[in-house]
Amino acid sequence: MIQTWNLLSPNLMHALGWTLLHFVWQGTAIAAVAAVLSVFCRRASSRYALLVVALGVMALIPVITFLSLADFGLQRPYPSTSEAPMPTNPENPGMHLSQGIERLAPPRDLLPELVEVWLMGVILFSLRSAGGFLLLEHQRRKQGGEVSDRLRALCGALQKRMGLDRAIRFCECQWLDAPAVVGWFRPVVLLPLTALTGLSEEQLELVITHELAHIQRFDAFVNAFQIGVEAVLFYHPAVWFLNKRIRTEREHCCDDAVISLCGNPVEYARALTLMEEWRSAPQLAMAANRGPLAQRIFHVLGIKPSGSGARIGVAGSLICLVAALLAGNSLFGIAYPNLRAHAASIREVTAGHFKVAAAMQASPAPAAAATPAPKPSAGRPQGAPQPTPGGSYIEAMKAAGIGDLTVDQLIAMKIQNITPEYVRGLHGEGLHPDADALVAMKIQGVSPEYIHGLRSLGLNPDPEQIVAMKIQRVDAEYVSGLKNAGVEANVDELVAMRIQGVTPDYVRGLRSEGLHPSADELIGMRIQGVTPEYVHAILALGLKPTPDQFIAMRIQGVTAEYIKSLQSAGLKFDVDEVIAAKIQQITQDFIDRAGKHGFHDLTLEKLIQLKHLGILETPANL
């Protein structure tokens, strides 16, 4: 099984699983509405357009559902079982705020398996479709042959009558029994030998017109869209039902085009009957004998089916629509049981806290002599409000200096177990983050001790920088190690160096070779793979590049072996010249070719000029 649970966050997995379940009733409802509305469409083209729009809605509604559910889940993170208990409602001590939140989460035991099975199905159906397209293209290339001049002239005349100015190829084939169209941007009309020999010239003209109508209507693109929707939403019968209806109405539309252009519906009906007996066209091609024969003949001949079938279809569609809506309502009840009741519970709890806070703010302050002032806590500035004994979480956070919080901020802070002591510890280090920054810092495990260690080394990062440093594991030990190695860097440079893997050992290795790069140079050298070993090898050849020159040499692929090859040719050069030589591809072979032309003891500058001007190259016209 694909471990999608590890690839997606729990909230996204939850949203995707429920999206698949919600589409069960959504797809049924869309198909039912489309079936009812199609009854009132008299023209095949109108029914076709309606059904294609319905299929587009089917493809779009899961995306909307997923985004909505993902947004709901991301705004309401699931509480951890290891966290401290949530505050209680003073008016209802048995009610905890966490209880309301936890019950908003639907059971997710089977969601990973559901998503994995769906993904496997998508992969299988996608491979099936891709294999079909490849096989069809292989057959066309392998067995397709040019048609006769007479048939090409007939096809060209039909194409001109229909106003088609696209480049269309007409080929004979032996592996089909009815004319068909393949290809999107460069369509090919395949004309099988059975049709060329078994149909009269008039019948052949009619079926070729049918295929040209497919091209004129760009039906191949809609067909590809249908196949894509089938691959993604394969598990829903309504998708297959709607696609079958679309393919049937598409054939009716092309049949209408044939009758409108050529007339003679009786002869066309005979041609369809003959080709039905030969039927073996692949699903991915659009053949003239595709679709239910009886329906097509009735449609071509203008015979109206009895109204009882339509009435039964409307009644059945309405029943399916009602059932889908009821199922959707039930699914919401399963996914989010007692949603309104629990939302009211959360409002009740938070409202209770606000009532307590308002009452305490409104009550008169006690006399100074009645109660001695509490001793200030360590790390807390004089004059800061003290927490009220037995007060609520809201009041305690206000006492710590964090007030005017929204309900969402309170919930997020409590879920992350942000305590007044944690806030006061940050304040003691001179940091005063807002509620959102507090949550981000707590998620990343930022502690007052971590901040103290950074500040003791002379750094003064803001909350956003602290979060970035903690994510990249820039701690006091790392900063101290770089300082001991001789590197002074600001916060952004420290984060960048950590990302690129600049370590104290790497710096000491460069310094042992006599290099003293700055923070920016260290980042550039590490990105380009300038190692102490590379530096040592270059220095051993007598060159003295600066850190920037080492970076340039590494970018251009200058190696110790390349420099040795230039030195063996007796060349003398500095660092900039060897970089230029590498850019101009001055190699030992080029130097030897110059020697064969009598050019000896040339400077590197002269060799570069020869290479740049192409003097030693053989002219193209010789």
Residue 144, number of CB atoms within 10 A of its CB: 19
- Shared-domain flag, residues 163 and 221: yes
Report how far apart, in Å, the C-alpha atoms of 334 and of each of 80, 331, 405, 553 are.
Answer: 22, 5, 32, 64
In a domain, 526, yes or no: no
Count Cβ atoms within 10 A of the Cβ of residue 475 and give its class: 0-12 exposed, 13-18 middle, 19 or more buried. middle
| Pairwise CA distance, residues 411 & 418, whole Å | 10
- Shared-domain flag, residues 154 and 285: yes
The last residue of a domain, from among 280, 303, 326: 303
pLDDT means over runs of 10, the chain (622 residues): 52 81 89 89 90 94 86 46 41 42 46 84 89 74 72 86 85 75 82 76 85 88 92 92 92 88 81 68 49 69 59 66 66 51 45 46 43 43 44 86 86 90 92 90 92 92 92 93 93 92 94 92 92 94 93 92 88 87 86 82 81 70 45
Domain extent, residue 568, equals 557-622
- Shared-domain flag, residues 35 and 169: no
Q: Determine how β-strand 92-96 pairs with β-strand 145-146.
A: unpaired
- Shared-domain flag, residues 56 and 118: no
In a domain, 94, yes or no: yes
What strands lie across the sheet with 169-173, from one edge to the other? 145-146, 169-173, 188-192, 180-182, 286-287
Give the E-state strand segments of 285-392 in sequence order.
Answer: 286-287
| Pairwise CA distance, residues 215 & 189, whole Å | 9
- Shared-domain flag, residues 328 and 278: no
CB–CB of 110/97 below 8 Å? Answer: no
> What pLDDT score was predicted for residue 58?
93
- Shared-domain flag, residues 261 and 325: no
- Shared-domain flag, residues 176 and 250: yes
CB–CB of 597/616 below 8 Å? Answer: yes
- Shared-domain flag, residues 609 and 581: yes
> What pLDDT score was predicted for residue 375?
45
| Pairwise CA distance, residues 481 & 508, whole Å | 10
DSSP assignments along 43-59, one per residue:
SHHHHHHHHHHHHHHHH
> What pLDDT score was predicted for residue 370?
42
Of 512, 501, 566, 517, residue with least CA distance to 539: 512
> What pLDDT score was predicted for residue 358?
47
Q: What are phi and psi of 171, to 5 degrees?
A: -130, 150
In a domain, 458, yes or no: no
Long-range contacts of residues 159-165, Cβ cutoff 8 Å, at least 24 apart: 159/212, 161/261, 162/209, 162/212, 162/213, 162/216, 162/257, 162/261, 163/216, 164/212, 164/215, 164/216
- Shared-domain flag, residues 91 and 164: no
In a domain, 490, yes or no: no
| Pairwise CA distance, residues 288 & 281, whole Å | 9
In a domain, 356, yes or no: no
DSSP assignments along 112-123, one per residue:
HHHHHHHHHHHH
In a domain, 440, yes or no: no
- Shared-domain flag, residues 96 and 161: no
CB–CB of 331/22 below 8 Å? Answer: yes
Residue 362, number of CB atoms within 10 A of its CB: 7
In a domain, 294, yes or no: yes
> What pLDDT score was predicted for residue 121?
92
What is the chain's length?
Answer: 622
Q: How many domains does the chain have?
A: 3
| Pairwise CA distance, residues 181 & 212, whole Å | 8
Please name the residue that has the structure tokens 């602290």.
466
> Coil, strand or helix: which one is 580?
helix
Count Cβ atoms within 10 A of the Cβ of residue 212 and give its class: 0-12 exposed, 13-18 middle, 19 or more buried. buried
- Shared-domain flag, residues 266 and 209: yes
Q: Across-strand partners of 146?
A: 171
b vs e for 2-19, b when ≥16 Cβ sit within 10 Å of the residue's Cβ?
Answer: eebbeebeebbbbbbbbb
In a domain, 265, yes or no: yes
User: pTM of the full predicted structure?
Assistant: 0.48
- Shared-domain flag, residues 179 and 95: no
| Pairwise CA distance, residues 12 & 67, whole Å | 9
The last residue of a domain, from among 253, 282, 303: 303
